[in-house]
Amino acid sequence: MKQSKEPNKTNLNKTNFRNKNAITLIALVVTIVVLLILAGVTISLLLDENGIIAKSKDARLENRASQIEDEIGMWKQNNFINKESGQAQEKADTILASLISRNILKEEEIDREQRIITIKKKDGGILKQISYSQVTINISKNPETEKSGAVLLTVDSVKGITIPNFYIYKRDWSEVEDYLKTINKEQKKEMIKEMLPKSANKEFETDECDTLEKALNKFAFKPKGYEILDTEEKLWNFLEKEDEYEGFLIECCIGPLVYHKDTNTIEGYTVTNPDGETSNTYAVAENGTYTFKVKDNVTGKTYTKKVEVTNIDKSLPALTVTSEMIEEIAGSHKLQYVFIVLKDLRTNECVDFEKAYILFNNKKIEITPEISTEDGKKCVFASNIGFFLEQEGILERSREIEHTNQIIILEKDNKCYMSVIDMGDFDIPL
């Protein structure tokens, strides 16, 4: 009987060892691969553009920008309170030096000409712009972000200027008086100190009046019941007793200096567009940075404001709603009649349009019947819009919107183009 051979234990053990080694090696490789993947994911999470480190840096940048904005805002508020109470105001250089010394602000982020702080992102885009000027220039973009062949830039308002712009209708200065009543006596005194010497120099064609008292001596004001107002103290006593601050400012300062009889306007400031033209609007068909200038016609100081346009698409039509003007002389007055057109910025030519609207009191009102032709151009006369709204019972008088800013919409090929238009004078002969 044959005996069965026992298995070769040595060979079996070697095979098992090799198998175990192979399994161990595979597991090691897999582990390494997994670790590499995890390491890659971790590095990506840390170092990617949208990673933790980048987001942390962005958060620090945003926090820094917010801190600057808060401190500038507090500085402005404190200066406003000090101004209202007749106390000294802190200069801009003081707050800027404080921010720089604490490593919150960098010198290269300050535009001292425009009095603007610009905080930029890592990619060069603007994160935040902070104005530290007491004069604030607000500029709108239409459209603001939507891709367009043209963008209309408009200076909507200027705040902090010595005296705003006004239109004086039929010698009615009540709007100016109402404005002057909103500022305190110390501010009125500062306006008189600033304006009366300039008014005296203009009146007497000289340049020697560089102080209030020199101007007072030049004018030699002698109200009934008072001695000559030849000192500051005498002037303030008179104005206080007679409550004549507003009247004195209008008659002796604002009127002689910045009132224009030919246009019936008080021009407290002048806006100059990027082409150097006197206008608060500017239409562009190229991406870029554009600069408006605002001159305070009382102090002579000029303030600038830059605006960046990034949403121009040259594949789209470069059409914008704008206005042109017909000027006529009526007696001693210069009348400016406005007609509204649709212009191609690339050719600088007016183009036809099919419909017209005014956005009035938050209602879109069709004014297509008022489309006419002037010098071969399709247009809508601003004055005719006023008459149309009066006929429709929307206005009591057409003149209610004379020399006001109104939103006008022109439609071409089922696409609407919108702009803010100064309506000008309404005495146009039809």
Question: What pLDDT is attached to residue 187?
Answer: 86
SS3 for the chain is CCCCCCCCHHHHHHHHHHHHHHHHHHHHHHHHHHHHHHHHHHHHHHHCCCCHHHHHHHHHHHHHHHHHHHHHHHHHHHHHHHHHCCCCCCCHHHHHHHHHHCCCCCHHHEECCCCEEEEECCCCCEEEEEECCCCEEEEEEECCCCCECCEEEEEEEEECCCCCCEECCCCCCHHHHHHHHCCCHHHHHHHHHHHHHHHHHHHCCCCCCCCHHHHHHHHCCCCCCCCCCCCHHHHHHHHHHHCCHHHHHHHHHHHHHHEECCCCEECCEEEECCCCCECCEEEECCCEEEEEEEEECCCCCEEEEEEEECCECCCCCCEEEEEEEEEEEECCEEEEEEEEEEEECCCCEEECCCEEEEEECCEEEECHHHEEEECCEEEEEHHHHHHHHHHCCCCCCHHHHCCCEEEEEEEECCEEEEEEEECECCCCCC
Q: Does the structure show a pLDDT above 80 at 341? A: yes
Q: Does the structure show a pLDDT above 70 at 239? A: yes
pTM for this model (two decimals): 0.71
Q: Does the structure show a pLDDT above 50 at 430? A: no
pLDDT band for 9, please (50, 70, 90 cuts): low
105-153: pLDDT as tens digits: 999 999 887 788 999 888 888 888 888 888 889 999 989 999 999 999 9
The percentage of the chain sitting over the pLDDT mark of 90, rounded to a whole number, equals 58
CATH of domain 141-160+268-315: 2.60.40
pLDDT band for 60, please (50, 70, 90 cuts): confident
Tell me the average pLDDT across 277-298. Answer: 93
Question: What pLDDT is attached to residue 123?
Answer: 80
pLDDT band for 3, please (50, 70, 90 cuts): low
Q: Does the structure show a pLDDT above 90 at 88? A: no
Question: What pLDDT is attached to residue 428?
Answer: 47
**Interacting residues of 269 by C-beta distance below 8 A, sequence separation 6+:** 158, 161, 164, 165, 294, 295, 296, 297
Tell me the average pLDDT across 210-219. Answer: 94
pLDDT band for 6, please (50, 70, 90 cuts): low
Tell me the average pLDDT across 209-217. Answer: 94
Output the six-digit token pair for 180.
């002057």
244-271: pLDDT as tens digits: 999 999 999 999 999 998 888 999 999 9
Mean pLDDT score of the chain: 86
Question: What pLDDT is attached to residue 77?
Answer: 85
347-380: pLDDT as tens digits: 999 999 999 999 999 899 999 999 999 888 999 9
Question: What pLDDT is attached to residue 27?
Answer: 75
Structural domain boundaries in the chain: 52-134, 141-160+268-315, 166-259, 317-430
Question: What pLDDT is attached to residue 263?
Answer: 83
Q: Which residue has the higher pLDDT, 1 or 182?
A: 182
Question: What pLDDT is attached to residue 330?
Answer: 64
Q: Does the structure show a pLDDT above 50 at 22? A: yes
Q: Which residue has the higher pLDDT, 112 or 296?
A: 296
